[in-house]
Amino acid sequence: MMGKINLKLFLIGMFSFCISYGQVTFTTTSYTNNFTGTDLTGGGKVNFNDVFVSQGSLSYSQNGSLTVTATGVNGCYATSFKNIFTSDKVNLSGASNNYITLSAQCTPSATIAIKLTQGTNTSDGTTFTAGPTTGNVALDLSSVKTSGGVDPALIDGIIFEFQDCPSDGNYTLVIDDLVLGAPAPPSPQVTFTATTYNNKFGGNIVGMGGQSWADVFVGTGSLGYSQTPGAFTIHANAINPCYQAYFKNTFANNVDISSNKTLSIKASKPGSGTITLEVKLIDDANAESSAVPLTLGSTPVIRNLDFSSATGVDFTKIKGIKFGFITCAGLEPYTAEIIINEIFLGGTITPPTNVVMPADYVENSTVYPNPNAGMFTIGADFREAGEYTIDLVNMTGETYYELYKGFISSGYQTINFEKQGLPKGVYLLKIKSSDNETVISNKVVVY
Kindly report, residue by residue over 325-349, the tens digit of the pLDDT.
888 878 889 999 999 988 999 988 8
Integer Cα distance of 181 and 179 in angstroms: 6
DSSP 133: T
Distance separating alpha carbons of residues 447 and 274, to the nearest angstrom: 36
Share of the chain above pLDDT 70, in %: 75
Q: Which domains does the chain have, with CATH numbers?
A: 9-182 (2.60.120), 191-345 (2.60.120.430), 362-446 (2.60.40.3110)
Q: With 60 as the cut, is the pLDDT of residue 288 above it?
A: yes
Work out whether strand 275-283 and strand 318-325 pair parallel, antiparallel, or are unpaired: antiparallel
Q: Report the pLDDT value the prediction gives residue 219, as an integer from 0 to 100.
A: 78
Closest CA to 398 of 374, 356, 438, 427: 427
Q: How confident is the model at residue 160 (pLDDT cuts 50, 70, 90)?
A: confident
**Rounded mean pLDDT, 350-375:** 64
Q: How far apart are CA 224 and CA 364, in angstroms?
A: 39
d(CA 372, CA 447): 6
What are the contacts of 373-376 at 24+ separation with CB within 8 A? 373/446, 373/447, 374/418, 374/419, 374/420, 374/421, 374/422, 374/446, 375/416, 375/417, 375/418, 375/419, 376/416, 376/417, 376/444
* Whether the predicted pLDDT of 186 surpasses 80: no
Overall average pLDDT of the 188-216 stretch: 65
pLDDT level of residue 354 (50, 70, 90 thresholds): very low
* pLDDT for res 55: 61
What integer pLDDT is reported at residue 15 of this predicted model?
A: 30
Residue 351 has pLDDT above 70, yes or no: no
pTM of the predicted model as reported, rounded to 2 decimal places: 0.45
Identify the top-confidence range among 121-130, 218-227, 371-380.
121-130
Question: Contact, 223 vs 234, CB < 8 A?
Answer: yes
Res 299 pLDDT > 60 = yes
Query: In 56-123, which ranges are continuous DSSP H helix?
Result: none
User: Which pLDDT band holds residue 211 (cuts at 50, 70, 90)?
Assistant: very low
Evaluate if residue 144 carries a pLDDT over 90.
yes
Range in 142-156, 197-211, 217-231, 232-246 the model is least confident about: 197-211
**Is the distance from CB of 233 to CB of 291 less than 8 angstroms?**
no
Q: Is the model's pLDDT at 258 over the cut of 60?
A: yes
Q: In this predicted structure, what is the pLDDT of residue 341?
A: 87
Q: In the predicted model, is pLDDT for residue 97 greater than 70?
A: yes
Model pLDDT, residue 38? 62
Question: For residue 5, what pLDDT is reported?
Answer: 29
Residues 6+ apart with CB under 8 A from 329: 241, 242, 243
Q: Which of the four pLDDT bands, split at 50, 70 and 90, describes residue 36?
A: confident
Per-residue pLDDT at 8: 31
Q: Does position 209 have pLDDT exceeding 50, yes or no?
A: no
pLDDT higher than 70, residue 11: no
DSSP designation for 291 = P
Q: Which of 110-114, 174-178, 259-263 has the highest mean pLDDT?
A: 259-263
124 has pLDDT over 60: yes
